Amino acid sequence: PGFTVEAVAEIDSTNTELMRRARAGHTPPVLLVAERQTAGRGRLGRPWQSAQQGEEQGTASLTFSLGLPLAPREWAGLSLAVGVSVAESLDPTGAAKVALKWPNDLWVEDRKLAGILIETAMPHAGRADAPAPPRYLVIGIGINIGPREGDGMRTPPAWLRQWRPDATAPEVLAELAAPLVRSVQAFEAQGFGPFAERFAARDALRGRQVQLSDGSFGLCEGVAWGGELQVRTADGLQLVSSDEVSVRPS
- How many other C-beta atoms can be found within 10 angstroms of the C-beta atom of residue 245? 18
C-beta closer to ligand BTN: residue 42 or 170: 42
**Contact residue for ligand BTN among 13, 59, 85, 183 (CB under 6 A):** 13
The order of strands in the sheet holding 30-37 is 4-11, 30-37, 61-70, 135-144, 111-121, 105-108, 98-101
| CB neighbour class for 29 (10 Å; exposed up to 12, middle 13-18, buried from 19) | middle
Determine the interface stretch with ligand BTN among 136-144, 155-163, 208-216, 232-240 (rule: CB under 6 A). 136-144
**Contact residue for ligand BTN among 22, 31, 48, 49 (CB under 6 A):** 48
**Contact residue for ligand BTN among 72, 103, 140, 157 (CB under 6 A):** 140
| CB neighbour class for 27 (10 Å; exposed up to 12, middle 13-18, buried from 19) | buried
C-beta closer to ligand BTN: residue 13 or 85: 13
| Separation of alpha carbons 238 and 12, rounded Å | 38
Contact call for residues 69 and 135 (beta carbons, < 8 A): yes
Contact call for residues 103 and 117 (beta carbons, < 8 A): no
C-beta closer to ligand BTN: residue 143 or 196: 143
**Contact residue for ligand BTN among 70, 78, 84, 141 (CB under 6 A):** 141
CB of residue 8 to ligand BTN, shortest distance in Å: 12
CB of residue 126 to ligand BTN, shortest distance in Å: 29
Q: Which residues of 192-230 are buried (b: 16+ CB within 10 A; e: fewer)?
A: beebbebbeebbbbbeeebbbeeeeebbbbebbeebbbb
| Separation of alpha carbons 35 and 16, rounded Å | 15
Within residues 52-111, the interface with ligand BTN by CB under 6 A covers 63-65, 105
**x/- string (CB under 6 A) for ligand BTN, residues 190-229?**
----------------------------------------
**Contact residue for ligand BTN among 28, 42, 54, 123 (CB under 6 A):** 42
Contact call for residues 182 and 88 (beta carbons, < 8 A): no
Determine the interface stretch with ligand BTN among 134-142, 160-168, 182-190, 218-226 (rule: CB under 6 A). 134-142
CB of residue 231 to ligand BTN, shortest distance in Å: 21
Q: Is 49 in the site for ligand BTN (CB under 6 A)?
A: no
Contact call for residues 160 and 144 (beta carbons, < 8 A): yes
- Using CB under 6 A, list all residues that contact ligand BTN: 13-15, 37, 40-43, 46, 48, 63-65, 105, 115-117, 140-142
